[in-house]
Amino acid sequence: MPKKGNRKRLKFKAGDVCCESVTVADFANADPAVVKSGRVKKAVANAIEKEVKLLCGLEASQGAVEEVLSSASSVRADAVGSSDDPEDDEGESETKVARKKKTKRKKESSESSDGEDYPVDIWLMLSSYIRPEDVYRFSLICKNAWTVTCTAAFWTRLYRRHYRVEVDLPFRLQPDSIDRMRCLRACVIRSLFHLYEPFSLRVSKNPALPESTPTTLLNSTCFLFWVKKLSGTRPEALWEFNFKFKKQGHFKNGCAKSLHLPKQYEEVHMNPDSDCCVLQVTTLNYIFIPVVMGLTLTLFTINVSTDMRHHRVRLVFQDSPLQRGKKRGDQGGTQVVLDPVHSVKLMDWWHPLYPSLPYI
């Protein structure tokens, strides 16, 4: 076999190794074969042991030195004893390189063949035992598991498993309405926030006024607005101002998701309100609002009112979205100030109180 270049090799002698003769250059120019294998030659080990015993004393250092040297000179079970001949070392290193390449090829082939490809029917059967909050994790197991979550059978079974007659559901979420394919997934998710206790508790714990101003509405476009008069136990009526926003789509690196829905299940996943949310502000008095439909929200604040008894909501709309890196548009644009405010709610499309027809 041809030798590798004219690489200079270091030959270690027991007499050359001591605390004065060991330098950084010795380790910098060390033989790669020795460094890669992690083995220490016996002559070098004996010289180091002798030097340590002379410095520390034979009686005190014997145990510690043996422990250090044994860990430094440990060799794998299939390794062969080292030789002082450079040609033998080179042949041994060549054999180890070939063995490592062969092991790497075996490992790559075994990795590519690992795993079992189970049919979709198996995943559909397992999906009957998945909790609603674990649907996302289940879909990440493999492509077949994700395909199951796209089917109408999966969402229909999920609805029937949690349906309860005693729960008062809206008409659009009744079992008769669930039988149709169109927007099936959205209807089932909305129903779970009425039927499934962990989801309903999550919504009921939301306070009347958020602890901090929501920032998810920034750069969203308002495409619908309506006012509703509320009559209740209060002697004075409350006024409900509703702003429906369309959020900007979020794509990674400017591209859509790599997985595409099966064509036969596109109607199941259809949801016109997927990127929509409704900001509902209830006030004690009626307030005139300028036309904001078609404008983009650039500022949203909730502060304490001037009388220190209520809250004040301020919205600023611009003709175009706010550019990245620029300050929020405090000045200019169309401003909407609601004061005094009784409650503020930001509802996503799956919220139980998300308004339906005729308002949307």
Asked if residue 360 is part of any domain, the answer here is no
The pLDDT confidence band at residue 360, using thresholds 50, 70 and 90, is very low
Average pLDDT (179-193) is: 91
pLDDT score of 250: 58
CB atoms within 10 A of CB 26: 13
Q: What are phi and psi of 159, to 5 degrees?
A: -70, -45
Question: Measured between alpha carbons, how far is residue 211 from residues 234, 311, 341 in Å?
Answer: 25, 12, 15
Do 230 and 169 belong together in one domain?
Answer: no
Average pLDDT (316-321) is: 87
Pairing verdict, β 296-304 and 276-283: unpaired
Do 37 and 93 belong together in one domain?
Answer: yes
Do 195 and 214 belong together in one domain?
Answer: no
| Dist. CA 297–CA 320, nearest whole Å | 9
CB atoms within 10 A of CB 75: 13
Do 225 and 310 belong together in one domain?
Answer: yes
> Is the predicted pLDDT of residue 80 greater than 50, yes or no?
no
- Domain closes at, from 68, 86, 112: 112
CA-atom Rg of the chain in angstroms = 36
The single residue listed with the structure tokens 């706010």 is 322
Boundaries of domain holding 188: 120-202
Per-residue pLDDT tens for 5-14? 555 555 545 4
Average pLDDT (161-172) is: 90
> Which of 16-20, 205-209, 329-333 has maximum average pLDDT?
205-209
DSSP bridge partners of 336: 315
- The number of domains in the chain is 3
Do 268 and 328 belong together in one domain?
Answer: yes
The pLDDT confidence band at residue 189, using thresholds 50, 70 and 90, is very high
Asked if residue 4 is part of any domain, the answer here is no
Distance between alpha carbon 302 and the CA centroid of its chain, in Å? Answer: 30
Considering the chain, what is the average pLDDT of its residues? 76
| Of 130 and 105, the one with more pLDDT | 130
Do 340 and 253 belong together in one domain?
Answer: yes
The single residue listed with the structure tokens 């909050």 is 133
pLDDT score of 159: 94
Per-residue pLDDT tens for 253-267? 444 456 788 888 888
| Dist. CA 254–CA 251, nearest whole Å | 5
CB atoms within 10 A of CB 11: 12
Do 257 and 319 belong together in one domain?
Answer: yes
pLDDT score of 73: 46
Q: Is the dihedral of CA 80, 82, 85, 89 positive or negative?
A: positive
At 335, the amino acid letter reads Q
Instruction: Find the farthest-apart pair of alpha carbons in the chain and give their distance in angstroms, rounded.
Output: 104
- Domain closes at, from 202, 234, 260: 202
> Is the predicted pLDDT of residue 160 greater than 80, yes or no?
yes
Distance between alpha carbon 250 and the CA centroid of its chain, in Å? Answer: 15
pLDDT score of 107: 60
The pLDDT confidence band at residue 2, using thresholds 50, 70 and 90, is low
Sequential DSSP letters for 127-171: GGG--GGGHHHHHTS-HHHHHHTTSHHHHHHHHHHH--TTS---G
Do 241 and 336 belong together in one domain?
Answer: yes
Q: CA triplet 28, 31, 34: central angle to 5 degrees?
A: 115
Q: What are phi and psi of 57, to 5 degrees?
A: 100, 135
Asked if residue 102 is part of any domain, the answer here is yes
The pLDDT confidence band at residue 190, using thresholds 50, 70 and 90, is very high
